[in-house]
Homo-oligomer: A and B are copies of this chain.
Amino acid sequence: MSFSPLVDRLLEALRVLPGVGPRTAQRMALHLLERDREGGRRLVAVLGEALEQVGYCRRCRTLTEEPVCELCRSTRRDAALLCVVESPADMLAIEDAGGYRGHYFVLHGHLSPLDGIGPEDIGLDQLEQRLDEGGITEIILATNPTVEGEATAHYIAEQIRERGLTLSRLAYGVPMGGELEYVDGGTLSRAFNGRLPFNGE
């Protein structure tokens, strides 16, 4: 037996959310339908709006509904520093850790040939354009300290070596094999201050 066709479709639709299985989907659907339709309608409105309007910042590729994000528009940031991260969540974690005053570039993933994710899929052509504009003197490769993150950092270093920019990688204060997004602020700060020269080898 199951719920009505429409409720069953709702249970299935909720499964798109990460970590939501059949049981959780049922809890969510019944909660919204029985106890919080107003909250549900707000979610429908905001999610719909976000899905249509949120895109990538023209300069750093972070998620924003504006052409250029607030951080890229800020005049209080050091335009000579560019920190390359895998996701907007990593960018947020670094900002929350404090201490870094430069700009960012978001890859939205990492190189993964087996999944068919190549340089252009993580915006490296756009990164080259950004560097062509000049003004940037140091690039901090803050990809995740995972095999894929390391490989992506090495690839980027290889690509931009001849530009003669200072390349650095986060100090190994960050735990190997971990996800940057979950590193505590103190560790992230120390990793930033202790960043090391990086030659792509």
- Report A's interface with B, CB cutoff 8 A: 1-7, 9-10, 12-14, 16-19, 24, 26-34, 36-37, 39-51, 53-54, 63-66, 69-71, 87-89, 92, 95-96, 108
A47, B89: Cβ atoms closer than 8 Å: no
Q: Which of B32, B54, B69, B92 contacts A47 (CB 8 A)?
A: B32
What are the 9 tightest A-B residue pairs by CB atom distance, in nearest-first order?
A: A16-B39, A1-B95, A13-B46, A4-B64, A6-B65, A44-B48, A10-B50, A13-B43, A18-B31
A10, B46: Cβ atoms closer than 8 Å: yes
**Extra inter-chain contacts (19) besides given A10-B54, A13-B39, CB under 8 Å:** A1-B96, A3-B64, A4-B54, A4-B64, A4-B70, A9-B46, A10-B50, A13-B46, A16-B40, A16-B42, A16-B43, A17-B31, A18-B31, A19-B27, A26-B89, A34-B87, A34-B108, A40-B47, A48-B48
Q: How many copies does the complex hold?
A: 2
Query: By DSSP majority rule, is chain A's interface helix, strand, loop, or mixed?
Result: helix
6 cross-chain CB contacts under 8 A: A7-B65, A10-B50, A13-B42, A33-B54, A37-B51, A41-B48
- Min Cβ gap A116→B in Å is 14
* Cα separation A49 to B5 with both chains bound (whole Å): 12
B47, A7: Cβ atoms closer than 8 Å: no
